[in-house]
Amino acid sequence: MTEDALLGGRVRLCQPAEGFRAAIDPVLLAAAVPARPGDRVLEAGTGSGAAALCLLARVAGARVVGIERNAALAELARTNAALNGNGDRFLVVTGDLATRATARAAAAHGACAHAMANPPFHLGGTVSPLAPRREAGHESAEVALALWVAAMARRLAPRGTLTLVLPPARLPDAIAALGEAGIGGLALLPLWPRAGAAARRVIVQGIKGGRAPCRLLPGVALHRAEGGYTDAAERVLREADALALS
């Protein structure tokens, strides 16, 4: 295990030294969720808790219900919740997202105002021999993107938001899945490695029951050409600013 710092030290995160490790995707995902104090947020595939803890550090009084099927990672997320003093605001449910038992456990805490996920999105290619990295990164029949979106949407309150971070190649699948689940009014925020480079990630956010036209927003360049994060990225990654998609 290593202990790392996120959001300029606001979040302490223990995570495996090898295998799936949180980078900046969960930090950016959490920054895009328009949660307010008192809101309940569902996270599918919470892993070690990076996104949930970043959201809780930014939004005082919010609560997160995280679902994680890997029992060891789920226990690590609970450890990280306690490490950050959020044991009462971050509930971790161990189980598969789409099973009835997991659904009942999550539903027991009421409908959520928001849902978020950094889902397994790789199709084919080189598969990691490490099970946690493989499960977190590669889509399979039992964790297909459409199943994730449908399960998350069912737990959302009307007009609740659903937010994903994905590579551009998965946008057609994500848009189709969101539409099937009744999530509309989509907003797409490209994340560029640097100015002039093709986006490697896109944040997609929709509203349950939303009917507004899809919007492609001005993106965020993450790195300067000479190295280091841009000022816009620093405000999100170090200073815990929100990413506004509305």
Element (H, E) at 187: strand 183-194
β-pairing, 201-208 with 183-194?
Answer: antiparallel
C-beta separation of 17 from 48 below 8 A: no
> Does the residue 65 lie in any domain?
yes
The whole-number pLDDT of residue 134 equals 40
Range of the domain at 176: 2-237
The whole-number pLDDT of residue 207 equals 98
Tell me the pTM.
Answer: 0.90
Q: How many CB atoms lie within 10 A of CB 60?
A: 10
User: 82-114: buried (b, 16+ CB within 10 Å) or exposed (e) per residue?
Assistant: ebbebeebbbbbbbbbbeeebbebbeeeeebbb
- Residues lower than pLDDT 50 in the chain: 122, 125-142
* Domain total of the chain: 1
The whole-number pLDDT of residue 143 equals 64
> Does the residue 195 lie in any domain?
yes
> Does the residue 98 lie in any domain?
yes
The whole-number pLDDT of residue 19 equals 78
> Does the residue 177 lie in any domain?
yes
> Does the residue 73 lie in any domain?
yes
The whole-number pLDDT of residue 123 equals 54
Question: 28 CB contacts (<8 Å, ≥6 apart)?
Answer: 165, 191, 201, 203, 236, 237, 243
pLDDT tens, 124-139? 544 444 444 444 433 4
- CATH number of residue 46's parent domain: 3.40.50.150
> Does the residue 246 lie in any domain?
no
> Does the residue 244 lie in any domain?
no
